[in-house]
Chains A and B, each alone.
Chain A
Amino acid sequence: MKANPKDVFSGTYYIDGDVACAYGAAAAGCKFLAGYPITPSTEAAEAFAKLAPQIGAMFIQMEDELGSIVAVLGASWAGKKSMTITSGPGFSLMMEGIGFGAALETPFVIINIQRGGPSTGVPTRTGQADMMQARWGSHGDYEIIALSPDSPQESFEFTIKAFNLAERYRVPVMLMSDECVGHMTEKVVIPSASEIEVEPRRFYHGPKDQYLPFKPERDLVPPMVKAGEGYRLHLTGLVHDENGYPLLDCDIDEVTQKSTTRRLVDKIRANADKIIEIKEDSLDDAEVVVVSYGITSRVALKGIEQAREYGIKVGSLRLVTVWPFPEKRITELAHKIKGFVVPEINYGQIVFEVERCSHGKANVVLVPHGGAGVHNPDDIFEAIKQVAKNKEKYEGVVEYRTSLERLIFG
Chain B
Amino acid sequence: MSKEKHHPMESWLRMDRIPHIWCPGCGIGTTLTAVIAALEKIEANPDEVCVVSGIGCTGRAAGYLKFDSFHTTHGRAIPFATGIKLANPKLKVMVISGDGDLVAIGGNHFVHAARRNIDLTVICVNNFIYAMTGGQVAPTTPLTAYSTTSPYGNFEPPANIPRLAEAAGAVYVARWTALHVRRLTKSIVEAIQKPGFSVVEVISPCAQYYSRINRLGDGLDMMKFYHQNSLIKHMEPTENLDIQYQEQIIVGKFVDRERVPFTELQKEGCN
**Which of A63, A75, A234 sits near B83, CB closer than 8 Å?**
A75
Report Cα–Cα, A77/B75, bound state, in Å: 18
Q: Does B108 contact A (CB under 8 A)?
A: yes
Within 262-314 of A, Cβ neighbours of B (below 8 Å) are at: none
Q: In the complex the two chains form, is A228's CB within 8 Å of B47's CB?
A: yes
Partner of B73, one of A62, A71, A72, A237: A237
B104: interface (CB < 8 Å): no
B127 located at the interface, meaning its Cβ lies under 8 Å from any Cβ of chain A in the complex: no
Query: Which single member of A73, A96, A228 contacts B48 (CB below 8 Å)?
Result: A228
Q: How large is the interface on B (under 10, 10 to 19, 20 to 34, 35 or more residues)?
A: 35 or more
Q: Contact between A78 and B47 (Cβ–Cβ < 8 Å)?
A: no
**Bound-complex Cα distance A63 to B75 (A):** 13
A58→B86 contact, CB < 8 A: yes
Q: Is the CB of B72 within 8 A of A237?
A: yes
Q: How far is the CB of B192 from chain A (nearest CB, A)?
A: 16
Residue from the list A62, A63, A74, A237 in contact with B87, Cβ < 8 A: A74
Q: Which of these, B71, B84, B109, contacts A236 with CB under 8 Å?
A: B71
Q: Is the interface of A mostly helix, strand, loop or mixed?
A: mixed
Give A86 to B129 CA distance when docked, in angstroms.
35
Question: CB-defined interface of B70-85 with A at 8 Å, one 1/0 digit per residue?
Answer: 1111011011111111
Given contacts A53-B270, A228-B48, A235-B71, contact A66 B83 (CB under 8 A): no
A226 lies within 8 A of chain B by Cβ: yes
**Chain B residues in 8 Å Cβ range of A74:** 52, 70, 79-85, 87
User: Closest chain A residue to B105 by CB distance?
Assistant: A66
Chain B residues within an 8 Å CB radius of A70: 72-73, 76, 79-80, 83
Decide if A32 touches B83 in the complex (CB within 8 Å): yes
A232 contacts partner chain B, Cβ-Cβ < 8 Å: yes
In the assembly, what is the distance between CA of A163 and CA of B48, in Å? 28
A248: B residues at CB distance < 8 A:
21
Q: Within 8 Å of chain B (Cβ to Cβ): is A245?
A: yes
A52 nearest CB neighbor, chain B only: B270
CB of B62 closer than 8 Å to a CB of A? yes
Return chain A residues, CB-CB under 8 Å to B112: 62-63, 67
Interface size on A, residues (CB 8 A): 43
Check if B205 is an interface residue, CB within 8 A of chain A.
no
Q: Is B241 an interface residue (CB 8 A)?
A: no
Contact call B91/A67, Cβ cutoff below 8 A: no
Q: Is the CB of B88 within 8 A of A79?
A: yes
Q: How far is the CB of A260 from chain B (nearest CB, A)?
A: 15
Whether A73 contacts B67 by the Cβ 8 Å rule is no
Q: Which residues of B contact A60 (CB under 8 A)?
A: 82, 86
User: Does B3 belong to the interface (CB within 8 Å)?
Assistant: no
Interchain CB contact under 8 A, A227 and B84: yes
Question: CB of A238 within 8 A of chain B?
Answer: yes
Is A405 engaged at the interface, CB distance under 8 Å to the other chain? no
Question: Is B17's CB within 8 Å of the partner chain A?
Answer: yes
**Are A238 and B75 in contact (CB-based, < 8 A)?**
no
Residues of A close to B270: CB separation below 8 A: 53
- Which residues does chain B contribute within 8 Å of A232, judged by CB atoms? 46-47, 66-69
Please indicate which of the listed interface residues A63, A80, A233, A246 has the most CB atoms of chain B within 10 Å of its own CB: A63
Chain B, 192-244, CB within 8 A of any chain A CB: none
Contact indicator B63/A236 (Cβ below 8 Å): yes
**Interface presence of A82 (CB below 8 A):** yes
Interface contact A62-B79, CB-CB below 8 Å: yes
Complex: A96 Cα to B80 Cα, angstroms:
13
Q: Which of A34, A60, A96, A229 has the most C-beta atoms of chain B within 10 angstroms of its own C-beta?
A: A60
Is the CB–CB distance between B83 and A237 below 8 Å?
A: no
Q: Which of B21, B62, B75, B84 is packed against the most chain A CB atoms within 10 Å? A: B84
**Whose C-beta in chain A lies nearest to the C-beta of B270?**
A53
CB-CB under 8 A from A141, the residues of chain B are none
List, in ascending order, chain A residues with CB within 8 A of B16's CB: 245
Q: Are A233 and B69 closer than 8 Å at their CB atoms?
A: yes
Chain A 239-265 near chain B by CB (<8 Å), digits 1 or 0: 000000110100000000000000000
Instruction: Supply 10 further A-B pairs (C-beta < 8 A) apart from A62-B82, A71-B79.
Output: A34-B82, A73-B80, A74-B70, A74-B87, A230-B47, A233-B69, A235-B70, A238-B71, A245-B17, A246-B71
A-B contact pairs, 10 of them (CB 8 A): A62-B82, A64-B108, A66-B109, A67-B112, A73-B72, A227-B50, A229-B47, A232-B67, A234-B14, A245-B63
Closest 5 CB pairs of A and B: A74-B83, A78-B87, A71-B83, A67-B79, A236-B71
Q: Hey, which bits of chain A sit against chain B, CB under 8 A?
A: 31-32, 34, 53, 58, 60, 62-64, 66-68, 70-80, 82, 96-97, 100, 226-238, 245-246, 248
